[in-house]
Chains A and B, each alone.
Chain A
Amino acid sequence: MQQTILEINHLSKSFGSHEVLRDIDFTVCPGDVTSIIGASGSGKSTLLRCINLLETPTAGEILFHGKNILAHGVKATDYRAKVGMVFQSFNLFNNMTVLENCVVGQVKVLKKSRGEAKENAMAFLDQVGMTPYVNARPRQLSGGQKQRVAIARALAMEPEILLFDEPTSALDPEMVGEVLSVMRTLAGNGMTMLVVTHEMAFARDVSNHVVFMADGVICEQGDPGELFSNPKQQRTQEFLSRFMAN
């Protein structure tokens, strides 16, 4: 059997008495591009935030290389350094320049030297086409540019898996393209990615595994070609037909 990088077992999350996630199970292998799709409010983002421990799951386990990170004595900071995250609202550090945004984590968390971190950051900024803007501040950039910098910042930590939380939902159609093309390139380079998205074309064409969520449970998951052309569950059919109609 292939070695998994991430394994989610019976994960549940409640806010008070409100159950947002129920008994979530899926696995991610190295090099996988997994898309999580579903209507707003179905728990997709919460799931991703649980995986990065920004929310604490109420029950279940998250195995990272076979080790449960929810167990006592596991340092969340060490784990998070290996799992990159790209947010819907970019969350770039407003008090730093573009370059500084990509350097600070490497220097403070990975304890790299400043020179090495800068060189590294420049390489990743080049990959997302943002080298001319290294001296700009986040407030001076457009949404698409911010998101590309955010991707470079996450990549600069050289994570083993990259989580995307609706990376294009806050962007206009033109900017969506530039971000998606960066993500396509990443996927092509073999990056392990877990993407919460409403971009059905991306989910269908780029990912090799699709998870459809509804009301806090995984309704259906599988190969994108199979799931998109021949959905088995009625909920999936309804959701996809509404999306494809648009």
Chain B
Amino acid sequence: MDKLTQLGHDIAKLWGTYHASYLNGILSTLILAVVATAIGCIIGFACGVLQTIPHSKKDNVVKRFFLAVIRVIIRAYVEIFRGTPMVLQAVFVYYGLPYFTSLRFTNVWVAAIVVVSINTGAYMAESVRGGIISIDPGQTEGAKAIGMSHVQTMLYVIIPQALRNILPQIGNNLIINIKDTSVMFIISFTELFAAHRAAVGATYLYFPSATIEMAAYLTMTLVASFILRRMERRMDGSDNYELVQTDMLTATAGTYNYPGKGTPFDERNPEHENTLRQAQWDRNNDKRGER
């Protein structure tokens, strides 16, 4: 119990001194994860669509060669970026560029977003490809039959459906990114994990700081998965639909009939007041018992 009180005390102390740094870290982590996942998805969709362009032996040589080259490039990209650690990719991109050229990333934000996006894109490319081939070929045929091109078919028919199917995968990637952006400290990007390193560097309160970090990461990922679940349900749409009635007679059939104008039951008739009063009087002086 003593230890827990001590932990609470240490956390309060850390939070008191470094809360700005932690909060800043949370914000940076979230922005990086969301932006990089979004860009990664776009890369993934581009790769997925390019990979699934139909090709037949009847096409001319140039087109076939071009498509083959694209497929090889995408394949290589996916295998390389899926098969190496993101920490090293960050080092490679951030320090490799000035090593070979006179260019360098002046903004660490740009470098971090580039690395995480490319990494996410490699994973998403495969998810998207899976999403696209999981859609019934009949959908493609239906679109082709009304004269849509490959790009139109993809944009309006296949991708909206594939997107729904791979939304859980996108959620996975977002959550992985929220956690894995912590390796960006290697290029001195200051996100949530960097805040931890800064705090413990000065206070040596490793465990209390780690507790704060754990809670912060878990909160972010829980919120993310909650939002994604809501999005999934939104995309599925309602199970109900409104029948559109074109015939007004059927639309009003069986509903309330307004009493005729001027009858004692019409609310606009001045005598209506009397009708109500009479009814009230009858109810109060129920004579049925006497009969």
Contact = CB atoms under 8 A, between A and B. Distances in A.
Interface of A: 52, 54, 56, 77-82, 84-85, 87, 89-95, 104-105, 108-109, 131-137, 140, 150, 153-154, 157
Which 8 residue pairs of A and B lie closest in terms of their CB atoms, listed nearest first? A81-B147, A91-B142, A105-B146, A85-B145, A91-B138, A95-B160, A136-B241, A109-B147
B245 A132 contact: yes
Contacts of A89: 138
B242 interface: yes
B164 A95 contact: yes
Nearest to B161: A95
Interface of B: 56, 58, 136, 138-139, 141-149, 152, 156-157, 160-161, 164, 237, 239, 241-246
B128 to A, nearest CB: 16
Contacts of B145: 52, 54, 80, 84-85, 87, 91, 154
Contacts of B237: 137
Contact of B156 (A108, A134, A137): A108
17 contacts: A52-B144, A56-B56, A77-B148, A80-B145, A80-B146, A82-B147, A87-B142, A91-B142, A92-B142, A93-B139, A94-B161, A95-B157, A95-B164, A132-B243, A133-B244, A137-B241, A153-B146
Given A54-B144, A56-B56, A131-B244, A77 B149 contact: yes
Given A105-B148, A137-B237, A93 B242 contact: no
Given A108-B152, A135-B244, A140-B241, A80 B157 contact: no
Contacts of B160: 95
A108 B148 contact: yes
A109 B244 contact: no
B132 to A, nearest CB: 13
A105 B146 CA distance: 6
Contact of A132 (B144, B148, B149, B246): B246
A76 to B, nearest CB: 8
A54 B141 contact: yes
B265 to A, nearest CB: 35
Nearest to B235: A95
A75 B243 CA distance: 40
A136 B239 CA distance: 9
A140 B240 CA distance: 8
